[in-house]
């Protein structure tokens, strides 16, 4: 059901605008009418959803028995030190390292890419894998390494570069991760006791609806794929609470204006062509089965780790005092970390969750007061 139809069935009003205040009020009213008696935890796994929840103060306007919990929804935050350490090592060997801007400040085992850049290593910010490819084509005498991060949304873009006849001096470190295995892990976390998932909008444009059915069918977990307006998230919450009350868990596509049931078949084909699904480490969380994308053997020549035969021993993901892993698992909210906005700030981050725009601590630092209303 698309959001317009969904809103119509909920409010009786035919709507065009997603920012209509009246509709938001009606959605909140519906949520109040459905207020669960028991504490009901609903998890999302998307940085942009957390942005919507925090920016619009959704936690402060919904019934207190509904708790919205952020999961590991930021690809920058979940990228382990190992991959960044690899990039740092290669930079020190004289390679040009390219990656997205947010990755520069992320602390690795000892130093960050930003610190290496200050020390004179050639580390360049790019906006897409294609930019990195262009640098490689323009600098045939240098080795260019792209540190690739992101979930199912960005993995096809990285893959497309490898299918675009890249030059020999180009290679990459694949730190791509898959969202659904992380959602499965969250189900096993004792402390969170999730009752439903708001599924990530962008990721779902690629993977479609099918990967979520095991959650509703096997685990009885309602899933709603939501868009990123406040009304999208509110409707998602209404639908999840309704499914819980009716004991009819299912998968609902609230973001039908962008997500097709089958996903993006072309992107899925490219992912399959280029990557192998492997067990992968998530920063501070540990190894999650079948949650990472490694390059297939055919692309060994472009796999920087293999090409340059580099390896890091004993990388450190979580530094003393940092509770990013607990934030990413949704076991605590950022203000529960003693370093939050004291030693750890967006200007001087200690943990990865404070670095990226999609990191939960960084979002709480920017919009936290709206979240805190409910704790006052």
Residue among 30 and 360 whose Cβ is closer to ligand SF4: 360
Q: Which residue's Cβ lies closest to ligand SF4?
A: 351
Structure tokens, 298: 């055919």
Pairing of strands 275-282, 286-295: antiparallel
CB of 334 to ligand SF4, least distance (A): 5
Closest CA to 212 of 198, 223, 203, 196: 223
**Can you give the binding site for ligand SF4, defined by CB under 6 A?**
46-48, 73, 151, 153, 200-203, 322-324, 327, 334, 337, 339-340, 344, 350-351, 353-354, 358, 361
CB of 318 to ligand SF4, least distance (A): 8
Residue among 91 and 149 whose Cβ is closer to ligand SF4: 149
CB of 201 to ligand SF4, least distance (A): 5
CB of 337 to ligand SF4, least distance (A): 3
CB of 73 to ligand SF4, least distance (A): 4
Rounded distance between C-alpha atoms, residue 5 and residue 1, angstroms: 6
Residue among 72 and 222 whose Cβ is closer to ligand SF4: 72
CB of 366 to ligand SF4, least distance (A): 13
* Helix, coil or strand: residue 174: strand
Residue among 161 and 353 whose Cβ is closer to ligand SF4: 353
Provide the sign of the torsion angle of the four alpha carbons 109, 171, 118, 93, taken in this order.
Answer: positive
Closest CA to 365 of 350, 352, 354: 354
Residue among 152 and 303 whose Cβ is closer to ligand SF4: 152
Cα 84–Cα 88–Cα 92 angle in degrees, nearest 5: 170
Residue among 70 and 166 whose Cβ is closer to ligand SF4: 70
* Helix, coil or strand: residue 169: coil
* Helix, coil or strand: residue 194: strand
Backbone angles phi, psi at 362, to 5 degrees: -65, -40
Residues 278, 290 contacting (CB under 8 angstroms): yes
The kind and range of the H/E element at 294 are: strand 286-295
Residues 41, 59 contacting (CB under 8 angstroms): no
Residue among 96 and 252 whose Cβ is closer to ligand SF4: 252
Structure tokens, 254: 């609230």
Structure tokens, 261: 């049931």
Strand partners, 68: 42
Residue among 54 and 153 whose Cβ is closer to ligand SF4: 153
Rounded distance between C-alpha atoms, residue 9 and residue 100, angstroms: 42
CB of 226 to ligand SF4, least distance (A): 10
CB of 342 to ligand SF4, least distance (A): 8
Closest CA to 219 of 246, 245, 251: 251
């Amino acid at each position: 059901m698309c959001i317009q139809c969904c809103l119509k069935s909920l409010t009786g009003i035919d709507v065009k605008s997603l920012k209509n205040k009246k509709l938001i009020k009606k959605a909140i009213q519906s949520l109040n009418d459905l207020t669960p008696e028991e504490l009901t935890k609903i998890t999302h796994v998307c940085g942009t959803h957390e942005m919507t929840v925090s920016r619009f103060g959704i936690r402060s306007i919904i019934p207190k028995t509904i708790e919205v919990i952020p999961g590991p929804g930021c690809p920058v935050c979940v990228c382990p030190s190992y991959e960044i350490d690899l990039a740092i090592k290669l930079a020190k060997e004289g390679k040009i390292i390219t990656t997205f801007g947010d990755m520069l400040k992320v602390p690795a085992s000892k130093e960050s890419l930003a610190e290496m850049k200050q020390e004179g290593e050639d580390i360049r910010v790019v906006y897409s894998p294609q930019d990195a490819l262009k640098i490689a084509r323009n600098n045939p005498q240098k080795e260019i390494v792209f540190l690739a991060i992101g979930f199912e949304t960005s993995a096809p873009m990285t893959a497309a570069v490898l299918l675009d006849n890249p030059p020999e001096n180009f290679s990459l470190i694949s730190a791509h991760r898959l969202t659904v295995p992380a959602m499965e892990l969250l189900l096993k976390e004792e402390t969170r006791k999730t009752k439903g998932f708001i599924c990530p909008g962008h990721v779902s444009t690629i993977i479609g609806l099918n990967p979520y059915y095991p959650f509703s069918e096997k685990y009885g977990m309602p899933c709603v794929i939501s868009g990123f307006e406040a009304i999208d998230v509110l409707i998602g919450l209404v639908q999840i609470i309704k499914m819980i009350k009716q004991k009819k868990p299912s998968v609902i596509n609230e973001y039908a204006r962008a997500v097709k049931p089958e996903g993006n078949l072309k992107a899925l084909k490219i992912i399959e062509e280029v990557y192998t699904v492997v067990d992968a480490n998530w920063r501070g969380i540990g190894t999650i089965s079948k949650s990472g994308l490694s390059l297939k053997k055919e692309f060994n020549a472009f796999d920087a780790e293999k090409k340059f035969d580099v390896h890091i021993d004993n990388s450190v993901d979580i530094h003393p005092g940092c509770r990013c892993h607990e934030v990413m698992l949704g076991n605590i909210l950022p203000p529960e970390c003693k370093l939050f906005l004291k030693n750890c700030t967006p200007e001087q981050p200690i943990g990865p969750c404070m670095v990226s725009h999609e990191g939960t601590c960084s979002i709480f630092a920017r919009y936290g007061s709206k979240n805190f209303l409910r704790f006052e």
